Amino acid sequence: MLFLAACHGDAGSATSGTVAQDAGAQDRPNWVIIAPDSMRADRLGALPDGTVPAPILTQLASEGVRFTNAFSQSGWTGPALATLLTGHYPTALQSGLVTTGGAPSEAWAPGIHTVAEILSYYGYDTAAFWGNSGPSRSLVYSVGFAHTFTLPLREGTTNGRDVADWIEHSAREPFFALVHNVDLSNEVSKQHAPDNAKEVVDLYDATLGAYDKTIGLLRASLETRGVAKRTVIVIVSNHGLDFFGHGPYVVHGTLFDPVIHIPFVIVDPQATAHGTNDTVIQGIDLTPTILARSGATADATAAGHSLLPLLGWPGSYTPTDVYTMSSQMDLAVRSDGYKLIACRSDCCGAARQDDMPKCAGAQVFKLFDLAADPDEHHDIAASEPERVKAYMQKLKAWQATTLGPVDTGQSPQFPIDPAQKKMLQERGYWDLMFPHGDAPLTKPPSAAP
């Protein structure tokens, strides 16, 4: 298959004239994927004090199936978004460096196709709405989208008008829209506690509340266009955010549940199931679900599985072990009520500041009984050596099939420009790309498609 070129522009660059619906579109639903960056799973619904930070999203979630045990494959934005868009593990995304211009880039691994790309072959009109998060600066995430709308990188949130305008006036049915136009962590990430902990959390909730209002505009546009009853809405996030739970900072990129536990809701007018579902599901399940529901051919090599049986369609869904990575040396597996984290001792859950030394600690193992210790504060690895051994074997087997051998740095080397390194560190990708620290690239830099 050929990659489709991504077009950049504003609402005026979308299809003009009378909005159309192609033949057979009635059999294929429209899709709107609402995917705010860094949204915590507990922000759907009421908090312990009774406040509801996102009332419109919460109401929307009540109309569909809300999966209360959904987990991401990475705590970093790019790799986690890659799993949502492909149904593959984070290694679907190959990180590299651009040799000119000083800007970091990524590329898809050979044979990887985005859900937007596949749907476009089935006649879908596809659009991506980017905002103030990292993926807006990389063309790789826009592969398969016929229209891309990128807001200026700035603090704060979008007003959502561009999404509503495209749905009302330009989108041709069936359409697929990815709405990833806000990073809720921008103003609070790496904030220090305990002096201002409440203020930081309140700021996060206020940012979410402002974004929530834009969802009301989006919903109204579906009604105005008259397509609400044939549009499936998904609420999901690439990862969550840890509010001082495992260190003195607000962080993502770690392997603890506040980061990898994500909101996941499917509102399908044709589904017979509703309410909450506590089945363990994963971010890699999103693309297979979309393809199955749209009548598209599934990617047989994808790691995820369709969730349609949990929405009322025939068949069954069998939960599988949850594998998550923050780098090639920092991994976790969740299985049978326990979670094992294998990480470098100086990187387990720690916020990595720019002036901190590189991760260089010996590998350690942390085991948590999630039923007895849902907050993951009591490491029981020392008292459960056999379980640690069994779970480590799971990780090794998974790593062998998904990551391949770790480069030792003995092959020919390509220099890394200090300015490029700084950009990668600022985006949080340095440890993911270079788990051995400052060793130069051992393969030629990849280019974006």
pLDDT at 406 over 50: no
User: Could you tell me if 116 and 176 are in contact, meaning their C-beta atoms sit under 8 angstroms apart?
Assistant: yes
Percent of the chain residues past pLDDT 90, beyond the cut:
54
Q: How many CA atoms lie within 13 A of 109 on its CB side?
A: 17
For residues 3-9, average pLDDT: 33
The domains located in the chain, with CATH, are: 8-311 (3.40.720.10), 322-405 (3.30.1120.10)
Q: Which of 1-10, 31-40, 230-239, 274-283 comes out lowest in average pLDDT?
A: 1-10
Q: What is the pLDDT of residue 18?
A: 42
Q: What is the pLDDT of residue 404?
A: 53
Q: Residue 250's pLDDT band (boundaries 50, 70, 90)?
A: confident
pLDDT at 417 over 60: no
Q: What is the pLDDT of residues 51-81, one digit of tens each?
A: 999 999 999 999 999 999 999 999 888 899 9
pLDDT at 113 over 70: yes
For residues 2-10, average pLDDT: 33
Length of the chain (residues): 449
**What does the angle CA 96 – CA 100 – CA 103 come to, to the nearest 5 degrees?**
55
Q: Report in angstroms the alpha-carbon separations of 368 from 336, 341, 352, 373, 386.
A: 11, 9, 23, 7, 14
Residue of 235 and 355 predicted with greater confidence? 235
Q: What is the pLDDT of residue 23?
A: 40
DSSP helix, strand, coil percent of the chain (3-state; round to 5): 30, 20, 45
Q: Residue 96's pLDDT band (boundaries 50, 70, 90)?
A: very low
pTM confidence score: 0.82
User: Could you tell me if 271 and 29 are in contact, meaning their C-beta atoms sit under 8 angstroms apart?
Assistant: no
Q: What DSSP character marks residue 134?
A: G
b/e string for 392-420 if b means 16 or more Cβ within 10 A?
beebeebbeebeeeeeeeeeeeeebeeeb
pLDDT at 99 over 90: no
Q: What is the pLDDT of residue 401?
A: 84
Q: What number of H helices and E strands is found in the chain? A: 10, 18
Q: Which of 153-162, 177-186, 246-255 comes out lowest in average pLDDT?
A: 153-162
Residue of 327 and 370 predicted with greater confidence? 370
Q: How far is CA 182 from its chain centroid?
A: 13
Residue of 261 and 92 predicted with greater confidence? 261
**What does the angle CA 86 – CA 89 – CA 90 come to, to the nearest 5 degrees?**
95
User: Residue 363 has which token pair?
Assistant: 């590998």
Tokens 């077009």 belong to 7
Q: What is the pLDDT of residue 310?
A: 98
pLDDT at 9 over 60: no
Q: What is the pLDDT of residue 155?
A: 47
Q: Residue 198's pLDDT band (boundaries 50, 70, 90)?
A: confident
Q: Measured between alpha carbons, how far is 131 from 78 in angstroms, rounded to an integer?
A: 14
Q: What is the DSSP string of 159-200?
A: -SHHHHHHHHHTPPBSEEEEEE--BTTTTTTT-BTTTTHHHH
Residue of 237 and 90 predicted with greater confidence? 237
pLDDT at 8 over 80: no
For residues 347-359, average pLDDT: 60
Q: What is the pLDDT of residue 188?
A: 78
Q: Residue 337's pLDDT band (boundaries 50, 70, 90)?
A: very high
How confident is the prediction for the chain on average, in pLDDT?
81
Q: What is the pLDDT of residues 136-155, one digit of tens each?
A: 778 889 999 999 988 765 54
For residues 293-315, average pLDDT: 93
Q: What is the pLDDT of residue 244?
A: 75
Helix (H, G, I), strand (E, B) or coil at 394: helix
Q: What is the pLDDT of residues 257-280, one digit of tens each?
A: 999 999 999 999 999 999 999 999
For residues 400-415, average pLDDT: 48
Q: Measured between alpha carbons, how far is 26 from 296 in angstroms, rounded to an integer?
A: 14
Residue 299 corresponds to which amino acid? D
Judged on CB neighbours under 10 Å (0-12, 13-18, 19+), 266 is buried
Q: Residue 356's pLDDT band (boundaries 50, 70, 90)?
A: low
Residue of 408 and 84 predicted with greater confidence? 84
Judged on CB neighbours under 10 Å (0-12, 13-18, 19+), 377 is exposed
Q: What is the pLDDT of residue 150?
A: 83
Most confident of 333-347, 368-382, 389-403: 368-382
Q: What is the pLDDT of residue 105?
A: 54
Q: Measured between alpha carbons, how far is 217 from 197 in angstroms, rounded to an integer?
A: 32
